Structure 1
Amino acid sequence: MQMPILEANGMRMPRIGLGTWPMKGAECQSAVESALSLGYRHVDTAEMYGNEDAVGAGIAASGLPRGEVFLTTKIWNDKPNGPAIRRAFDLSLKRLATPYVDLLLIHWPSAELDLDSALDGLAAIRAEGLARSIGVSNFPPKLLQRAIGKGVGLACLQVEFHVMLDQSKLLGICRAAGMGLTAYSPLAKGGNLDQPGLARVAAKHGATPAQLALAWLLAQDGVAMVPKAASPVRQKENLGALALRLDAEDMAAIAALPKDRRFVNPAGLAPDWVGG
């Protein structure tokens, strides 16, 4: 099954990638190698994950040309401005052992964030060819609109998104700006897999609930996803979502699931998701 591509503001991102949090060391490197051998071409990491070295080693060991792998990393929220982001990014590149990343994101906003300086810093990194595209992660609607208004050509927003969390407002903002949206925790950390409605639709298709959850995201225009999967079996299962086609009845059943379940909302870090 051919991997669909999300195109947004010059970015071409494979729509199913490998999430690597919280894997580290040999486990992480092995997972990256396995995923790439199965056909994944998109790997997501971050400075804070502490696994950029393992991700870089996995990509190198795969034997694939660097240009065939879409690599995302993220700079932690204690770097509030362009110069701090640049210093951290240079270290990320060294750990990843790569000459560039395909997408560079601000990981979380903070109260100290100098948005203009931070975005200028991202744009400067892109201008040097060290990041092919730039974006943000975990920005609520108002802050995202402010960032878009800066006019630096953001390509992507990464946020929690799954069958039990409505992100239509953020998705609408991204679509209007020509941006893509990457869903992290697209399986709601397993919290959606016991929903009877999802299980019924999965049984109809001879698929697993996880595959249905990912297929629902694939049915959303402009959305990619990075499910974490350490084992080849789970990685292959997730790719099975590509073969599923949901009909109107399926979509209605999934629409009836709760849509207010947020599984990543760390105290002291998460923004005001509604008013921020």
Structure 2
Amino acid sequence: MDLPPVGLGTMGIEDGAVVRTAIDCGYRHLDTAQIYDNERTVGAGIAAADTDRTDLTVATKLWVDALGATAVRPATEASLDRLGLDAVDLLYVHRPRGDYDPETTLPAVEAVREAGLTSCVGVSNFEPDQLAVAREYLDRIATHQVEFHPLFWREPLLSDAQAHGYPLVAYSPLAGGRVFEEPTIVDIADRHDTSPAAVSIAWVTSYDNVVTIPKASSRPHLEANLAAADLKLTDAEIARIEAIEREEELFPE
């Protein structure tokens, strides 16, 4: 998929006005999930915005209790009803657990795509071996969404995305706010007269095939996150951030 460098992560957003504001600011990639319990909120924001639906990439995710072969389609239709849409642009398998069985889940998701309820199929929180198996059953993996920030990122997952030519969608790029206290990030931010958030987003999006979906609620933060993708870090600064000890996984399996 051709995704913009920065989209909107909506976990925890409970006001459709925030989504509308994000769209007004220029966000074109909106990410939600069944487990976030806010698909109606996201749908309300989309409906209230002036931007044409065809200019937006809307993604949602099937939770682990909706991955049985007979559950995939009704669960997808329920998400569409909550979003107020005829189809989404991207439908994810949120995690490969619960009712997930690649031999039955993935053909069912493919059938949903073939029926026109989604344009593309993605996966989220998969391991490299699980990605290899998924490729046996999917027409293509459109995207892979994973936790990716200066305090936790997985080189094998980045390599898989780059080798197979799909976007890695980085969630929690600010490490739940921990980047604001990371000395390396703070120092680089001071050198650029910007914020640690901007440095983190710029670092994430500096990699080929990586886009990100930070959450923000206020217009100033929404605008700042969009602009952060234009910040250019030096090779030395990128290497300094890569050297940060990685042990802060926020959302382990």
Deviations 1:30-51 (A, max 9, x none): 1101111111111100111111
Deviation, structure 1 residue 169: 0.4
2:197 to 182, 203, 210: 210
3-state secondary structure, aligned to 2:248: coil
| Among candidates 49, 65, 68, match of residue 78 of structure 1 | 65
Aligned-pair RMSD on alpha carbons?
1.3
Q: CA deviation at 1:151?
A: 4.3
2:137 aligned partner: 150
For the residues of structure 2 that align with 1:197 and 1:209, how far apart are their CA atoms? 9
Q: Find the aligned partners of 1:218 and 1:234 in 2 and give their Cα distance.
A: 17
Distance 1:128 1:70 in 2: 18
Work out the CA distance in 1 between the residues paired with 2:146 and 2:239: 23
Q: Percent identity?
A: 38
Range with bigger deviation, 211-220 or 174-183: 174-183
Match 1:253 to one of 240, 247, 251: 240
Runs of 4+ in 1 over 6 A off after TM superposition: none
Q: What is the aligned partner in structure 2 of residue 121 from structure 1?
A: 108
Residue number in structure 2 paired with 1:273:
none
Q: How does 1:238-249 map to 2 (within 5 A)?
A: 238-249=225-236
| Partner Cα distance (2:243, 2:53) in 1 | 42
Q: Which residue of 1 aligns with 2:3?
A: 13
CA distance in structure 1 between the partners assigned to 2:197 and 2:32 by the alignment:
22
- Give the whole-Å Cα distance in 2 for the aligned partners of 1:112 and 1:88: 13
> Which residue does 2:49 correspond to in 1?
62
State the one-letter code of the partner of 2:50.
G
SS at match of 2:59: strand
Structure 1 residue 92: Cα displacement: 0.4
TM-superposed CA distance for 1:86, in Å, is: 0.9
Q: Give ranges in structure 1 of 5+ residues lacking alignment.
A: 1-10, 271-276
TM-score (normalizing by structure 1):
0.88
The equivalent residue for 1:88 is 75
Q: 1:151 to 1:55 in 2, by over 3 A?
A: closer
Are 2:39 and 1:52 aligned?
Answer: yes
**Deviations 1:37-89 (CA, angstroms, capped at 9, x unpaired):** 11111110011111111101101100211101110100100123232111100
2:97 equivalent among 101, 107, 110: 110
Of 162, 173, 189, the residue aligned with 1:186 is 173
Taking the aligned partners of 1:185 and 1:174, their CA distance within structure 2 comes to 18
Task: Report the equivalent of 1:97.
Answer: 84
Work out whether 1:222 is the aligned partner of 2:212.
no
Can you list the C-alpha shifts for 1:188-233, whole angstroms capped at 9, x where unaligned?
1111221111111111111100000000011111011111111112
Whole-Å separation in 2 of the counterparts to 1:230 and 1:236: 10
Q: Distance in 2 between matches of 1:151 and 1:86?
A: 16
Structure 2: runs of 5 or more not aligned: none
* Residue 104 (structure 2) pairs with residue 130 (structure 1): no
Distance 1:151 1:104, change over 3 A: closer
Aligned mates of 2:171, 2:17 — CA distance in 1: 21
